[in-house]
Amino acid sequence: MIKGLRRKFVMITMGLVSFILMAVLFGICLYYADSLRQESYRTLEMALERPPDSRGPRFKIGGAIPEGFGPSPIFIVTVDKEGMVRLQNSEYIDVDEAQLPDMISQIQKQNKNRGELNDYDLRYVVSMERDEVRIAFAALSFERSRILSVFSVTAAAVAGALVVFSIASVLLARWALRPVERAWLKQRQFVANASHELKTPITVILANMGIIKSHSDDRVAGQMTWIHNTEEEALRMKGLVEDLLFLAKGDDVADRVPLLPMELSDTVSTMALSFEPVTFEHGLRLDTDIEPGVGLSGNEQQIKQLISILLDNAVKYTEPGKMIQLRLKKEQNQAELSVYNEGASIRAEEKNHLFERFYRVDPSRSQPGYGLGLSIAKMIAENHHGKITVDNRNGGVVFTVSFPIK
């Protein structure tokens, strides 16, 4: 899939670049050809303005190109009122005088003051004077050779640019699609992990149902063990599906969930009170330090879920007799919520993956859960324009959530 996207990216990029470069190439050549044509006509007109048999402009070595110094050699033909044809200024070009009458005849048929004689590969300008007609001619072959030279040089430059752009587009495709590749791999891993986690409770439920069916003659009371197990696994699966749906909403959650003014201090105090029985049951001490009057624009339900995830995580990884600290304080334009628990520190390589979906510090999966809680906590923090970090501190681990406040 990713290789196909890269290939399409390179093909589209090179197609656009090729089209633009070819358009530039032909644009340059057409512009140059038009410039030579206009310059040639000006040179012919200036040649007709000079007196007969006068010398044309001379080029001085090291100096600027003189006015009237055209792109092609020229010659002038004079036709007097008796129809006599006379050739002038032909020292730079061989002219077959026998062809002059036919040239003049073709010019008369065209009935224009300027134009081209394709049969003779010439451009001309006609000057009507009182006693004669003067016609200046320029050879087109010189212009074509100059245009061909410009085209060759420009085409070589375009070909070189295409080679450079092709290499650059391949590198750019790899760089540009790297986030897509990472997201795609994460999605595949997410689906694989979700399937694995859902498979376990489904297997247990099917096993329980099989046992119940095999003892169909027993009363309901005798089947309660299997019924309770089935209910527990169904509730576990329901919680997993809800977590998966919450994560699947992704970035759109922040746009849909209203952020309303709320008393963050009261919410944190309420959650601390609700967790006191849990910490007592596990033989833990819950220490709180909550600054009063801290407000926040947020979603109270999500904030409660965030605090619950952090406290539940602390309870799982704190040994009996140890302490959990819940802190809330206001720092300038931020509200800092932190949960600290005494226990083993987190290795540096684990910090980089701690907020990934389905990641667990405990590879044996001895602790309950699916490894989605901290991912949800991170998403909730980001939905509130905040951030969550984890650090080792004083022989334990502290999670800190920073919220911007006005």
Category of 394 on φ-ψ map: left (φ > 0), alpha (ψ -120 to 50) or beta: left
Q: 325 and 395, same structural domain?
A: yes
Q: Is residue 24 part of a domain?
A: no
Say how many C-beta atoms besides its own lie within 10 A of residue 56's C-beta: 17
Ranking 71-80, 211-220, 279-288, 337-346 by mean pLDDT, the lowest is 211-220
Q: 290 and 245, same structural domain?
A: no
Q: Is residue 127 part of a domain?
A: no
Q: Is residue 134 part of a domain?
A: no
Q: Is residue 370 part of a domain?
A: yes
* Structural domain ending residue among the three candidates 223, 251, 279: 251
Q: 221 and 339, same structural domain?
A: no
Question: Read out DSSP for 316-384?
Answer: HT--TT-EEEEEEEEETTEEEEEEEEESPPPPHHHHTTTTSTT--S-TT--SSS-S-HHHHHHHHHHHT
Q: 263 and 245, same structural domain?
A: no
Going by their DSSP bridges, the two strands 323-331 and 285-290 should be labelled as: parallel
Report the CATH number at residue 300. 3.30.565.10
Per-residue confidence (pLDDT) for residue 161, from 0 to 100? 86
Nearest 5 degrees, angle CA 60-CA 42-CA 98? 95
Residue 254 contacts residue 382 (beta carbons within 8 Å): yes
Give the whole-angstrom CA distance, residue 300 versus residue 291: 18
Q: 272 and 232, same structural domain?
A: no
Q: 313 and 214, same structural domain?
A: no
Say how many C-beta atoms besides its own lie within 10 A of residue 96's C-beta: 8
Q: 354 and 331, same structural domain?
A: yes
Q: Output 362 or 117, whichever has higher pLDDT.
A: 117
Among residues 163, 146, 175, the alpha carbon closest in space to that of 36 is found at 146
Q: 225 and 335, same structural domain?
A: no
Q: Which domain holds residue 375?
A: 257-404
**How far does Cα 313 stand from its chain's mean position?**
37
Q: Is residue 302 part of a domain?
A: yes
Give the whole-angstrom CA distance, residue 251 versus residue 247: 9
Q: 376 and 264, same structural domain?
A: yes
Distance between start and end Cα atoms, the chain = 46
Q: Measured over all CA atoms, what is the biggest interatomic distance in the chain, rounded to whole angstroms?
A: 136
* Structural domain ending residue among the three candidates 220, 251, 282: 251
Q: 267 and 395, same structural domain?
A: yes
This prediction's pTM: 0.50
Category of 110 on φ-ψ map: left (φ > 0), alpha (ψ -120 to 50) or beta: alpha
Structural domain tally of the chain?
2
Tens-place pLDDT, residues 293-308:
999 988 888 899 899 8
* Structural domain ending residue among the three candidates 229, 251, 273: 251
pLDDT at 243 over 80: no
Tens-place pLDDT, residues 132-171:
888 989 888 888 888 888 889 888 888 888 888 888 888 8
Give the whole-angstrom CA distance, residue 65 versus residue 42: 14
Q: Is residue 340 part of a domain?
A: yes
Per-residue confidence (pLDDT) for residue 290, from 0 to 100? 92
pLDDT at 195 over 70: no
Q: Tell me the percentage of the chain whose pLDDT exceeds 90.
A: 15
H-helix or E-strand spanning residue 53: none
Q: How many CA atoms lie within 13 A of 176 on its CB side?
A: 14
Per-residue confidence (pLDDT) for residue 337, from 0 to 100? 94
Q: Is residue 205 part of a domain?
A: yes
Q: 292 and 231, same structural domain?
A: no
